[in-house]
A = this chain, B = another copy of it.
């Protein structure tokens, strides 16, 4: 006698949903062996019934609200994306006692704390490995494998589109606009690329990572966000001259100050040395670098997007959630016991790289150095190249608050002897 199946409802049947349905079918015997029960797809919610020839017609429905509360559904997989209707559907499903697997970074970053509380109240699971860095097992290691350790810092390349663009700029010397065009041609950039190039996508992922790493509720609004559209060919050249490359980084840190611990979360382009493990992450790949007290340095690397990789992460969650249901227990939920305050960007410690064209005459270096000193910013390295009546100054600072560094740059811009500020960028990973 076959044991009763684990019954799954799928919300959404686009690129990811199609891959999930295909894997559910092709991996059937394997999933059954790993869960101890067969898995059965019992319904697929779509917007239009006539566009999904791959799904048996009797499974399709436009009535997603009814599907998520149906008695014959155990687990709901949500791959619609965005806030509504996904949020309302997940809430209904959870209240009806269904466990939920979601790939929805925007929703989890915005409403994660409320959704976790609801899931805990209903005694069901809410898993979302696919929401950050696609197929890379990342949330589970952070939440479970490192549960006995103290994470200091999570620094990642979590957006494939921007990594492709910056990799091309680095390889060919192209401008941002040229590299964006190339990314569009290759299918790596959306028609409206803002979510990627302006850092919104990375900021949502940063919020999720910071929350898990530091046991603190973090939402997208807590994340300082800068995109890559201002990164110039001159910035890339300046990075190369110091043996570095430019990456869009999502950085989540535990900062210890006199007033206690806090969490700083930010997304911005930064120069990192070519010897850093993240520097070699090219093309549209993702990677996340983790620093922990006992474990030391860890890195997780893989494909961050695409139907199949995302579906792989969803099925991994499905197996865990199904096993938990059969055991009559929920898995480890998100924990927010630390509840650390969020540190504003202005008070977050960073380091800057600054390239200046200055007049080449006596007293210029002193004036520039004074500007740094007046903001209490200490200089790590300085390089001066004279060429006739003009010189280039390349300065890398020590760590200071981001506001002090920004004020220093403003001060430099207003100095008569500074003819041009050719590149300003934060440096990380040194």
Binding site for B on A (CB under 8 A): 19, 23, 27, 30-31, 33-34, 129, 135-137, 140-141, 144-150, 215, 277, 280, 287, 292-303, 306, 308-309, 311-316, 318-320, 323-324, 327-330, 332, 335, 337-338
Contacts and interface: CB of A to CB of B under 8 A. Distances in A.
Contacts of A297: 301-303
Given A136-B298, A148-B311, A295-B303, 12 more contacts: A27-B150, A31-B148, A33-B335, A34-B335, A137-B140, A141-B141, A145-B313, A148-B315, A277-B301, A293-B312, A295-B309, A299-B300
B147 A294 contact: no
13 contacts: A27-B150, A33-B338, A136-B295, A141-B141, A145-B316, A277-B280, A277-B301, A294-B308, A296-B302, A299-B300, A299-B302, A327-B327, A327-B328
Contacts of A19: 294
Nearest to A279: B280
Nearest to A144: B320
A148 B299 contact: no
A316 B135 contact: no
Contact of A144 (B136, B294, B319, B328): B319
B320 A147 contact: yes
Contact of A145 (B137, B215, B298, B328): B137
A265 to B, nearest CB: 20
B294 A148 contact: no
Contacts of A335: 33-34
Contacts of A136: 295, 298
A303 B314 contact: no
